[in-house]
């Protein structure tokens, strides 16, 4: 009896002192990311990121959507490695020049502000890639969306890929199958595609990104019939056949600054702004069912969005000794 009791005590001791690891296996790499990565090296890291994001949001509510988009556009090109933040220099041709990012990607100065604040407290410790992942989470929360623990430990790339940015990021006019293929190439699936598209519950898009839906969707001089014609008539007032390319429109006209499930409700009413939004409801049976589910059940959307953001954040990060921890996010360290 005493012997068996001792065995139980030893077993319980092993369980009690075994490390709890909320580790997240990163897709396409042997490295692991985990939320506690900076607990000892920079314990205030997450607090600093959150406070700078919150301050920026009070001055510019658009910034929340911009930060989520930066993380997305970063991860889809060579993985979540902050390559999107690099300026052109030497052998680097900046991803900021690509079609998906030129004249639309924003928030770069804010990321530098966050980085500067972190460098004051923990020099050369927190990566720009992790700042992007944390800022995207904090932007979701501050607009009313779900929260999640962000796995951390990414390092920063020493290069960028203009061609990757042009080819790998889903475009507003891509077909359903092309967009799904681009997601699958990153280790993401149809469920991730639909839930992550739900980030369009906040933010804006330019006239040039959806003009063809209003005037010439299929090259026959006719509008897109999967777009509510009443909604189209409103959009035409500020998005003419020519000119006004940079005019901004809410992606979710119902609650443009609130992270909720109205985006999916809009799709059911054929009021998705971009073609890439509306086809989630019109072009595939499985995605249509998910749109209907998320339109009816915001909690289901929030739960899946958080899971998919973690999954996206795990795309091919640089870990261990790969890459570097940039001191300034817009340039690699050897540029000093």
- Torsion angle, CA of 140/145/146/152, rounded to 10 degrees? 0
CB-based contacts of 204, cutoff 8 Å, min separation 6? 62, 65, 248, 249, 250, 251, 256
Give the tokens for residue 136: 């995207």
**Dist. CA 252–CA 271, nearest whole Å:** 9
**Dist. CA 178–CA 198, nearest whole Å:** 18
Q: Tokens 């996206």, residue?
A: 312
User: In the predicted model, is pLDDT for residue 77 greater than 90?
Assistant: yes
| Average pLDDT along the chain | 91
- Would you state the pLDDT for residue 22? 47
pTM score: 0.90
User: In the predicted model, is pLDDT for residue 19 greater than 70?
Assistant: no
Q: Residue 74 class from Cβ within 10 Å (0-12 exposed, 13-18 middle, 19+ buried)?
A: buried
Is 79 known as a binding-site position?
yes
Give the tokens for residue 108: 């770069």
- Would you state the pLDDT for residue 217? 82
Is 74 known as a binding-site position?
yes
For residue 331, the cross-strand partners are 328
Q: Which are the catalytic amino acids?
A: 73
User: In the predicted model, is pLDDT for residue 213 greater than 50?
Assistant: yes
Closest CA to 71 of 37, 36, 101: 101
Is 139 known as a binding-site position?
no
- Would you state the pLDDT for residue 236? 96
Is 58 known as a binding-site position?
no
Q: Residue 212 class from Cβ within 10 Å (0-12 exposed, 13-18 middle, 19+ buried)?
A: middle
Q: How confident is the model at residue 21 (pLDDT cuts 50, 70, 90)?
A: very low
Q: By the 8 A CB rule, do 259 and 144 touch? A: yes
Is 277 known as a binding-site position?
no
Of the ranges 184-193, 196-205, 218-227, 322-331, which one carries the lowest mean pLDDT score?
Answer: 218-227
User: In the predicted model, is pLDDT for residue 162 greater than 80?
Assistant: yes
Is 252 known as a binding-site position?
yes
User: In the predicted model, is pLDDT for residue 29 greater than 70?
Assistant: no
pLDDT 10s digits, 251-291: 999 999 999 999 999 999 999 999 999 999 999 999 999 99
User: In the predicted model, is pLDDT for residue 135 greater than 70?
Assistant: yes
The DSSP symbol for 261 reads S
DSSP 262-276: HHHHHHHTT--SSHH
Is 201 known as a binding-site position?
yes
Q: Residue 240 class from Cβ within 10 Å (0-12 exposed, 13-18 middle, 19+ buried)?
A: middle
Q: How confident is the model at residue 90 (pLDDT cuts 50, 70, 90)?
A: confident
Is 113 known as a binding-site position?
no
Is 224 known as a binding-site position?
no
User: In the predicted model, is pLDDT for residue 7 greater than 50?
Assistant: no
């Amino acid at each position: 009896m005493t012997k068996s009791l001792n065995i139980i005590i030893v077993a319980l001791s092993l369980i009690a002192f075994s490390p709890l690891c909320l580790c997240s296996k990163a897709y396409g790499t042997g490295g692991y990311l985990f939320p506690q990565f900076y607990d000892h090296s920079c314990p205030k890291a997450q607090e600093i990121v959150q406070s700078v994001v919150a301050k920026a949001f009070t001055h510019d509510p658009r910034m929340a959507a911009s930060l989520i988009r930066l993380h997305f556009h970063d991860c889809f090109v060579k993985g979540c490695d902050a390559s999107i933040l690099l300026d052109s220099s030497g052998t680097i041709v900046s991803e900021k020049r690509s079609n998906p990012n030129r004249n639309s990607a924003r928030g770069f100065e804010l990321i530098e502000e966050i980085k500067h604040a972190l460098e004051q407290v923990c020099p050369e410790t927190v990566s720009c890639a992790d700042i992007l992942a944390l800022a995207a989470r904090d932007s979701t929360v501050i607009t009313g969306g779900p929260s999640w623990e962000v796995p951390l430990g990414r390092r920063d790339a020493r290069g960028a890929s203009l061609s990757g940015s042009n080819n790998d990021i889903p475009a507003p006019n891509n077909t359903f199958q092309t967009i799904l293929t681009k997601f699958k190439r990153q280790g993401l699936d149809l469920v991730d595609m639909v839930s992550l598209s739900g980030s369009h519950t906040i933010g804006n898009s330019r006239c040039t990104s959806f003009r063809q839906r209003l005037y010439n969707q299929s090259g026959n001089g006719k509008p897109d019939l999967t777009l509510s014609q009443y909604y189209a008539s409103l959009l035409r007032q500020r998005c003419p056949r020519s000119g006004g390319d940079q005019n901004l429109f809410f992606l979710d006209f119902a609650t443009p600054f609130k992270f909720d499930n109205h985006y999916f409700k809009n799709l059911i009413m054929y009021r998705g702004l971009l073609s890439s939004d509306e086809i989630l409801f019109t072009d595939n049976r499985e995605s249509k069912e998910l749109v209907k589910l998320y339109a009816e059940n915001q909690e289901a959307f929030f739960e899946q969005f958080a899971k998919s953001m973690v999954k996206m954040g795990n795309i091919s990060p640089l870990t261990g000794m790969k890459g570097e921890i940039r001191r300034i996010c817009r340039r690699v360290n050897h540029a000093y």
